[in-house]
Amino acid sequence: MTGSEVAVTGRGKWLRWGLGAAGVAGIAFGLLGLPGDLGPPQLIGLLGWLAAAVVLHDGVLVALSTLAGAGLKRFTFGLGTVSQVILRATLLCGAAATLVVVPLLKAQQEVRTLTVDEGPYALALGIFWLALVVLAAAAIAAVELRLRKAARASAHAA
Amino acid sequence: MTAALHRRMDQAGRFYASPVRGTRLTVVLGRALATVFLLCFVTGVFSHLLQDPPSWMVYPLRPVWIYQLTQGVHITAGIASIPLLLAKLWSVFPNLLAWPPVRGVAHGLERASIALFVSSSLVEVTIGLINTYKWYPWPFPFRQTHYWLAWVIIGSLAVHIAVKLPLIAAHWRRPSATAAMPREGAAAAAHAGATDAAGAVATAHSTGTSVSATATGEGAVAAASPGRWSRRGFLGGVTAATTLLVVTTAGQSFAALGAFNIFAPRRQGTGPQNVPVNRTSEAAGVATAAGAADWVLRIHSRSHTRSFSRAELGAMPQATFDLPVACVEGWSQNAAWTGVPIRDLLAAIGAAPDSDLRITSLEKDGFYRQSTMPAAYSADPQTLVALALNGETLDLEHGFPARVMAPGRPGVLQTKWLADIEVLA
């Protein structure tokens, strides 16, 4: 037990054991149910998807986001904390929307069903990013201007 | 080789270190993610039970929009889980690089359960999202895989909470020391925290303990270090991303957000008679049969059979009800449906109104060409053989010449292009 953990005793111990047991039961129920509905080739396909998800996330997504963060740190060093928050939050929002819309754009090419995937998603995503960038730029400019005014005022007072 | 791998892991750990990470952040993200996953699980199991009902199933028919609500919540919560899941995984990523990777049997089992948890969660939210686009680029059946993986995920969540409970309890509330830290101390502490975060990785590697448990500058790194944002800022960013995703997609399920619906695969109010379509007549191959002049709806039990032409159905007392068509993919649309109450048709052949029914479509193939309607629905006065939609003759794409509409039922079970209704013994 490290200093940042809380000792779990009495009812807490029972809760842990109960959760653990229920969890194992749930996992077993799910894993045992799969072969009942999926044939061997489908199970292998699912395993492939499970492995690919981890590789894609750990090997690609995390690396990309870390590099992006490092790049941001280098190029925005002079910005204050609030401006950093605005900038990075903006990029997070844009990235989340892009993650959801990119497969939708692919589906638009594959699916031809009335009233499904019919929107101008590429255009919507472009306008979404534009709006994010404009709002973020305006907010950062306002914050930085206010900080500079405050710094000048305190230097003048000193 | 082991030493070389150890050094590589240390290097990777320093590369991925961030003062924003910490156990408190992980707990906060975990709370939100667990809530959303639980919502998805409960609403998803409800949907599954409606489609594959066990003998003990109780069918909630009121309010009539109950399935519209639960399935809308299911899809919206699933979409909300995407940024939360990615943020949670980011917050604990350095733990993946801890050396040695397995310290014993119990630790190995824990890591295996986390690998299963992470991979299942990533696949589940991915196929769930892409399913709403009606695109199926995978080699396994969606519905069954999605259902069983849900159990794996919720079980893994319970195990994960059980294992981490001491850490969760310790970091459930914001530490008071951080809240009381003076601003001028925060920058120095944050710098120390940034060093501590990287140092914690090295320390964890040498002692074989979890990175998150040994990050000593956790309270200090709540404030930002130069060129970075703060932990609170990160949480604010994740919240903003989650909120924006929800707002720009939930309009397919909830009319109040319809004006902001720019990223959902469906829009309310589109399609023939202002109602979206799922399976088209072309996909079902029913255009000729549905338009046949000699079409009749056959209603039969063991002892009686009657056939009704569309004109004969239209001559019977009609009822109109506002019922939502609510798809398993989360989109829904309220509409006014007019037709003959099914229980009136059952009475016409002397069958009890609370009879289980087998309903068959004109469709020759397709998983949902036949559905079973439990007695709770057939007895409901608002369950119709619908002939009109929003005051107009039912469009071919919505099931002309007749379709079933029942309250609180998934859209895939509201059979279109009716051919036959059989009273089951």
ipTM for the predicted complex comes to 0.92
Residue B420 to chain A, least CA–CA distance (Å): 26
Q: How far from the centroid of its chain's Cα atoms is residue B120's Cα?
A: 14
Which tokens hold the place of A102?
A: 């990119």
Per the CB < 8 A criterion, the answer to whether B422 and B357 are in contact is: yes
Contact B144 A51 (CB under 8 A): no
Report the chain A residue with the minimal C-alpha distance to residue B216. A4
Residue B216 to chain A, least CA–CA distance (Å): 9
Predicted local distance difference test score (pLDDT) of residue A72: 77
Query: Mean pLDDT throughout B37-47?
Result: 98
Residue B342 to chain A, least CA–CA distance (Å): 29
Query: Mean pLDDT throughout B131-157?
Result: 97
Per the CB < 8 A criterion, the answer to whether B421 and B370 are in contact is: no
Which residues in B286-331 belong to E strands, given as ranges? 296-300, 305-309, 319-326
pLDDT in tens, A14-47: 999 999 999 999 999 999 999 999 999 999 999 9
Contact A96 B82 (CB under 8 A): yes
CA pair distance B400, B267, nearest whole angstrom: 22
Which tokens hold the place of B315?
A: 């001559």
Predicted local distance difference test score (pLDDT) of residue A78: 78
Predicted local distance difference test score (pLDDT) of residue B8: 73
Per the CB < 8 A criterion, the answer to whether B132 and A113 are in contact is: no
Predicted local distance difference test score (pLDDT) of residue A5: 67
CA max distance for chain A: 78
- For the cut 80, the answer to whether the pLDDT of residue B216 exceeds it is no
Predicted local distance difference test score (pLDDT) of residue A63: 80
Query: Mean pLDDT throughout A44-53?
Result: 96
- For the cut 50, the answer to whether the pLDDT of residue B18 exceeds it is yes
Looking at residue B221, what DSSP letter applies? G
Which of residues 103 through 142 in chain A touch B, CB cutoff 8 A? 103-104, 106-107, 110-111, 113-119, 121, 124-125, 128
Contact A27 B18 (CB under 8 A): no
pLDDT in tens, A103-136: 999 999 988 777 888 889 999 999 999 999 999 9
Per the CB < 8 A criterion, the answer to whether A30 and B113 are in contact is: no
CA pair distance A120, A128, nearest whole angstrom: 12
Which of residues 3 through 22 in chain A touch B, CB cutoff 8 A? 4-8, 12, 15-17, 19-20, 22
Per the CB < 8 A criterion, the answer to whether B64 and B47 are in contact is: no
Which of residues 75 through 94 in chain A touch B, CB cutoff 8 A? 76-77, 81, 84-85, 88-89, 92-93
Contacts of A118 in chain B (CB under 8 A): 267, 270
List b or e across B226-265, with b for residues whose CB sees 16 or more CB atoms inside 10 angstroms.
Answer: ebbbbbbbbbbbbbbbbebbbbbbbbbbbeebeeebbbbb
Candidates B93, B171, B223; nearest CB to A62:
B93
- Using CA atoms, how far residue B241 sits from A96, B14, B280, B381, in Å, is 6, 27, 35, 44
Candidates B23, B213, B241; nearest CB to A92:
B241
Q: For residues B125 and A9, which has the higher predicted lDDT (pLDDT)?
A: B125
Predicted local distance difference test score (pLDDT) of residue B213: 36
Report the chain A residue with the minimal C-alpha distance to residue B209. A2
Q: For residues A5 and B67, which has the higher predicted lDDT (pLDDT)?
A: B67
Report the chain A residue with the minimal C-alpha distance to residue B274. A115
Contacts of A50 in chain B (CB under 8 A): 119-120, 123
CA pair distance B194, B220, nearest whole angstrom: 9
B338, containing H or E segment = strand B332-341
Task: Tell me the DSSP string of B58-124.
Answer: -----STTHHHHHHHHHHHHHHHHHHHHHHHHHHHHHHHT-SSS--SHHHHHHHHHHHHHHHHHHHH
Per the CB < 8 A criterion, the answer to whether B399 and B387 are in contact is: no
pLDDT band at B200 (very low <50, low <70, confident <90, very high): very low
Query: Mean pLDDT throughout B303-309?
Result: 96
Which of residues 21 through 50 in chain A touch B, CB cutoff 8 A? 22-31, 33-34, 37-38, 41-43, 45-46, 49-50
Contacts of A76 in chain B (CB under 8 A): 227
- Using CA atoms, how far residue B247 sits from A87, B241, B279, B305, in Å, is 21, 10, 27, 51
Q: For residues B44 and B196, which has the higher predicted lDDT (pLDDT)?
A: B44
The residue among B385, B362, B168, B197 whose CA lies nearest residue B281 is B362
Q: For residues B210 and B350, which has the higher predicted lDDT (pLDDT)?
A: B350
Question: What rounded mean pLDDT belongs to chain B?
Answer: 87
Residue with tokens 């193939």: B365
- For the cut 70, the answer to whether the pLDDT of residue A7 exceeds it is no
Looking at residue A150, what DSSP letter applies? H
Q: What are phi and psi of B413, to 5 degrees?
A: -95, 0
Residue B22 to chain A, least CA–CA distance (Å): 11
Residue B203 to chain A, least CA–CA distance (Å): 13
For residue B37, the SS3 value is: helix
User: For A113-122, A143-152, B33-42, B64-73, which range has the lowest pLDDT when averaged over its residues?
Assistant: A113-122
Looking at residue B414, what DSSP letter applies? S
Query: Mean pLDDT throughout B146-171?
Result: 96
Which tokens hold the place of A151?
A: 């710094």
- For the cut 60, the answer to whether the pLDDT of residue B417 exceeds it is yes
Residue A54 to chain B, least CA–CA distance (Å): 6
Contact B151 A29 (CB under 8 A): yes
Question: What rounded mean pLDDT belongs to chain A?
Answer: 89
Per the CB < 8 A criterion, the answer to whether B73 and B39 are in contact is: yes
- Using CA atoms, how far residue B413 sits from B340, B407, B418, in Å, is 18, 11, 12
Alpha helices in chain A (DSSP H): 11-37, 40-55, 62-75, 81-110, 121-157
Contact B245 A95 (CB under 8 A): no
Query: Mean pLDDT throughout A88-106?
Result: 95
Contacts of B163 in chain A (CB under 8 A): 16, 20
pLDDT band at B366 (very low <50, low <70, confident <90, very high): confident
pLDDT band at B309 (very low <50, low <70, confident <90, very high): very high
Contact B166 A88 (CB under 8 A): no
Contact A111 B135 (CB under 8 A): yes
Contact B167 A61 (CB under 8 A): no
For residue B45, the SS3 value is: helix
CA pair distance B277, B273, nearest whole angstrom: 10
Query: Mean pLDDT throughout B359-387?
Result: 95
Q: Is B178 exposed, middle or buried (0-12, 13-18, 19+ CB in 10 A)?
A: middle
Candidates B113, B130, B267; nearest CB to A103:
B130
CA pair distance A50, B409, nearest whole angstrom: 32
Contact A74 B227 (CB under 8 A): yes
For residue A144, the SS3 value is: helix
Predicted local distance difference test score (pLDDT) of residue B300: 95
Per the CB < 8 A criterion, the answer to whether B221 and B22 are in contact is: yes
pTM, full prediction:
0.88
Long-range contacts, A144-153 (Cβ 8 Å, 24+): A144/A79, A144/A80, A144/A83, A147/A80
Identify whether B63 is preceded by a cis peptide bond (ω within 30 of 0): yes
Q: What angle is formed at CA B162 by the lines to CA B157 and CA B168, rounded to 5 degrees? A: 95
Contact B141 A73 (CB under 8 A): no
Predicted local distance difference test score (pLDDT) of residue B15: 67
Instruction: Count interface pairs A-B at CB distance under 8 A.
Output: 259
Contact B152 A31 (CB under 8 A): yes
